[in-house]
Structure 1
Amino acid sequence: MRRWVKAAVAATVCVALGGWFAVPYAQGWWNTLDPCDGALPSDAVRELVPDGHHVTTERTRHVERLGSMSCVILLEETELGHAWLLEADAFTRRDDQDRELMSAFSDQGFEAQSPLPDGLPGFRDRANNVVLRLPCPALGNDASGRPRTMLVNFTMSVEVHFEEPRRAPYEAAVAFANSSSKNLGCGAEPLEVPDEDRLPSSPPDPEHPRTVPLSEVTGATCGWLTEAELPRTRTWRVSVRSNGDGPTGRCDVDTPVDAYDETDAGMTFFAWYGDWSRRLVTQDGTLRDMTATARCRGEAAHFALRYAETVPGLDPRAQRNLLKRFARNETHRRDCSGLRFHW
C-alpha cells in the first residue's frame, strides 16, 4: 500500500511538473537558469527579455583552436521565425577582429558611437551594441610581433534597446568577456561592472549624443578642447564619444542652432587604434590629407579631423593646429610614439 501511495505521489508530481514546464514562461525561466553554459548571468539575461516575451532556445559554440566563442539566445517563434534576444561573440584571431571592426567602421570610419563607462575598454557602436577589446597577455604576440588581443561583440535586439535596463547589458557583456578570456586562454584582467553612479541614466543614443558646454569637459578625454583655438564666432558644445580605454577615441564639437540642440556646423576628431584602421585614412594606398599616424602598443594608430565647411574661421592653419592638439593628447595618454602628420 505504501509503495502504491509513493508511486501515485511521484506520478502526480511528475504530471504537475510536466504541466508547469509546458507553460511558455516556465520554459523561459528554465532556459535562463544557466545561459551560454554559465557565461552569462541568469538575472541579467532575464532583465533583458522584453515584456511579453520568453526565452525558448540558447546555443553556445566554443572552438578554442579557432580562438572563438559565441552564444545566441532566441525568443519565441514568430511568423518570420524565431525572434532573437542577443548574440555574443568573442575572437582572439586577428582576421576575425578586423572583420568585426571593419563592419563597425566602414568607408572613412566616422560612424556614430557612444562611450562605455570608464573602466570598460570599448564603445557602443551605431547600432548600440557593446564592443570590447582586451589585451591577452597569456597568448603573447602574433606572427607579426603584435600583442594578441580579444574582441567581444555583444549584440542586442532592437526591442531590448527600446526598454533597455540600466545595468543588465553591462553585467552580461562583462560576464561574457571574462568567461571568454578564460575559455580562450586570453589571460586578460577580469573586467568589473561599473558602480551604479557611473552608468548612464538612460540608454545612449549614438545618433543623437548628449552634449555639454565646452567648459564642462575639463579633465575629461576631450578636455584638451578647452585650451584649443576654436573659432570664437560660435558657442561650442562638446560630445565626448569615447572613454579613453577602447580601440577608438572621439570628440565631437558642435554648435546648437535651436532649442532641440540640433547642429548645423561642427568638427569631429577621431582616433582608431590597430592596424585594421589604416584603410580608413588611405586612398589608393596613400594617406589622406589632414591625418596623423603613430605606434601604440605595438600597432598602428590613426587620427583624423572631419569638419563642416560652414564652420567660420577654420582655415588650413587652424585645422592643422586642432588636429595636432588632439593627436598629441591621445598619444600622450596612451604612451604612443612616432607621431607623424600628413597634410
Structure 2
Amino acid sequence: MKGEALRRLTPRGKMVTAITAALALLVGGGWAAEPYWQPWWFSLKFCDGKFPAADLAPVLPKERLVGGDEMDRSGDHEFCGINAGGRDYPLLVDSVTSFDDFEIKLALGPGDKADPRFVFPRGISGFEGRGGLVVLLDCPGPNHDYRGATRQLLVTVRGAKHRTVAAQRIAVTMANRTSSAFGCGAKPLPKPQRNAPAESPDAAIPVEKAAGTTCGWLARTPLSAGGTGAGAWRVSAPTDADAPVTSCQLFHGTDKEPAVKFTGWYGAWSRPLMRRHLEENENLYYDAANGPVVGKRNARALAICGGEPANFLARLQPAGVRQNITKEDLRSLLTAFAQAQTTRTPAAPRGGCTGLQVP
C-alpha cells in the first residue's frame, strides 16, 4: 500500500532523477574511488568464499579491481587468484599435496636462496620465502603421492601485501580447508591473532638455556670463535621441532643479525633445492652439489628420515665472518646440528634417521 502511494506521489521521471542523484552522491563521497564493499564481495565469490572480508581487506588494493577472480581445482591442487587486470594479481593462493620441484621453486622464489624468514607464530609450520608466504605440513598416516613419497601439503600466498597478518591468516585458512578437502588429515593450525605483529621473531636466549629446543645441541658444542667463549653466544629457535623445515640461529653478544643460520629440510623436494642453492652460492656442480660439502659460506649434510631425504644446511652470515668463524668451525657446527636433528629426542622428534652424511 505504501509503495503504491509512493508511485502515485512521485512521477516516473522524478524517481529516475532521484536515483541518479543518489548514485552521484555515493560516487562523489568516494564509494567508487575507494570501494569499501570490495572485500565483502570477494569474501562471497573468491575461492568459494573461504576467506572472511576482514582478512581480504588488508591485502587488496584500495582502488576498484576490474579483473575479477579466478579459480582452478584439479584433484589435490587448488589455485585461487584475484586479478587487477592483465598479469597483475594482488592475491594468489595455491594449495597442493602432490607437488614437485617446480612448486618448491615457485614457493621460495627467484634465486632459491634457501634462506626463509620465520614470520609465523610458533605452532604454525610456515615461513616467508622469496616468493611469498609458505605453509608446509606433513600429511599423517600411510598415504603417499604418485611418486611414492610421503604426502605433504604446500600452501603459498603471494601478492604485494603478503607481509601482513591478514595474509598469514589467509595461508592458514587455505591450509586447514584444503587439508580436509584433499584428505591430508593434518592437524588444524591456529590462526594468528589479527592484532599480532606481522613478524613474530623468537627472542634470542643464552645458549646455555637452549635445552629442549632445536638449538639445544649448541649448549653441548664448544663455541670459541673469536676467543669470546660460550657465555657471549645466544640462540633463537623460531620453529617447532617437528616442522618440515626446522631452524636454529646463533647470535653473538648483542648482535641483532645471526652469525650462523641452521635449517633442516625434510622431504624429497629438499634435495634439488639444496643442489640449486649450492650451485648458485658456492659454484659447485654435479656430484659436488649433490653430496655433503662445506664451502666458503654454506655447509650441507644429508640423511634419510622416515624413508625420505633430509638435508641440513649451515649458512655463515656476515656477523659470523666478523666473529672469525672459520670453514672448519662451520663444518663442526653443521656436524653437531645434523647429529642432533637425526637422533630422536623430544627436541628432534623426526630423529631415528639413517645414512647420515657429513662433510
Aligned to 1:102: 105
Provide Cα deviations, 1:175-196, integer angstroms capped at 9, x if missing partner.
1222223443434333221568
Contact preservation (8 Å) 1:229, 1:322: no
1:31 aligns with 2:41: yes
Residue 178 (structure 2) aligns with: 180
The answer to whether residue 138 in structure 2 is matched with residue 135 in structure 1 is yes
Matched residues, percent identical?
A: 26
Q: How far is 1:330 from its partner? A: 2.1
* Aligned AA (1:292): A
Could you tell me how far apart the structure 2 residues matched to 1:178 and 1:7 are?
52
1:157 CA displacement: 1.0
Paired residues of 2:263 and 2:314 also in contact (CA < 8 A): yes
Q: Are the counterparts in 1 of residues 77 and 96 from structure 2 also a CA contact under 8 Å?
A: yes
- Partner AA of 2:155 in structure 1: V
Residue 73 to residue 336, structure 1, CA distance change in 2 (3 Å): farther
Change (3 A) 1:133 1:112: closer
Counterparts of 2:174 and 2:158, CA distance in 1: 12
2:221 maps to which of 206, 223, 228: 228
Distance 2:41 2:264 in 1: 41
By how many angstroms is 1:132 displaced? 1.1
Q: In structure 2, do the counterparts of structure 1 residues 287 and 222 end up closer, same or farther at CA, with 3 Å as the change threshold? A: same
Q: C-alpha displacement at 1:89, in angstroms?
A: 0.6
Aligned to 2:286: 284
Q: Pairwise mapping of residues 198-209 of structure 1 onto structure 2 (< 5 A)? A: 201-203=197-199
Question: What is residue 282 of structure 2 aligned with on the other side?
Answer: none
Is residue 2:357 matched to residue 1:341?
A: yes
Secondary structure of the 1:32 match is helix
CA contact (8 A) 1:221 1:244 kept: yes
Where do residues 4-15 of structure 1 align in structure 2 (5 Å cutoff)?
4-5=4-5
Q: CA deviation at 1:29?
A: 4.5
**Larger strand share, 1 or 2:** 1
Task: Please list every run of 5 or more consecutive structure 1 residues that lacks an aligned counterpart in the other structure.
Answer: none
Using a 3 Å threshold, how does the CA distance of structure 1 residues 200 and 329 change in structure 2: closer, same or farther? farther
1:64 to 74, 78, 83: 74
Question: What does residue 244 of structure 2 align with?
Answer: 247
Contact 2:172 2:190 in 1 (8 A): yes
Please name the residue that 1:111 is paired with.
Answer: 115
Letter in 2 for 1:190: P
- Distance change (3 Å), C-alpha of 1:89 and 1:21: farther
RMSD across aligned positions (CA): 3.9
Q: Deviations over 1:267-322 (max 9, x none)?
A: 23222111122231574134142432222233100113233555447463x54442
Task: Give the letter for the 1:338 counterpart.
Answer: T
- Distance 1:115-1:168 versus aligned 2 partners, 3 A rule: closer
Deviation at 1:231, TM superposition (A): 1.6
Structure 2 distance, partners of 1:244, 1:221, is: 6
Please state how far the C-alpha of 1:64 moved relative to its aligned partner.
2.5
Which secondary structure does the structure 1 equivalent of 2:90 belong to? strand
Q: Within 1, Cα distance between the matches of 2:111 and 2:89?
A: 29
Residue 151 (structure 1) aligned to one of 150, 154, 169: 154
Q: Secondary structure at the match of 2:265?
A: strand
**CA 1:110–1:37 in structure 2 vs 1: closer, same or farther (change >3 Å)?**
closer
User: In structure 2, what is the Cα distance between the partners aligned to 1:20 and 1:148?
Assistant: 55
- SS at 1:157 equivalent: coil
TM-score, with normalisation over the residues of structure 1?
A: 0.74
Give the superposition deviation at 1:121: 1.8
- Aligned residues between the structures: 319
Deviations 1:205-238 (A, max 9, x none): 9xxx975553564433223222321125243343
The answer to whether the 8 Å contact 1:116/1:243 transfers is no
Change in CA separation of 1:271 and 1:16 when aligned onto 2, cut-off 3 Å:
farther
Unaligned runs of 5+ in 2: 279-284, 295-299
Q: Which amino acid aligns with 1:277?
A: S
The one-letter code of the counterpart of 1:298 is G
Greater Cα offset, 217-226 or 268-277: 217-226
2:187 equivalent in structure 1: 189
Aligned counterpart for 2:98 among listed residues 93, 97, 102 = 93
Distance change >3 Å, CA 200–CA 223, structure 1 → 2: farther
Moved more, 278-287 or 298-307: 278-287
Higher relative contact order structure (alpha carbons within 8 Å, sequence separation ≥ 6): 1
Q: What is the Cα deviation at residue 94 of structure 1? A: 2.5
Relative distance call for 1:73 and 1:175 in structure 2 (3 A) is: same
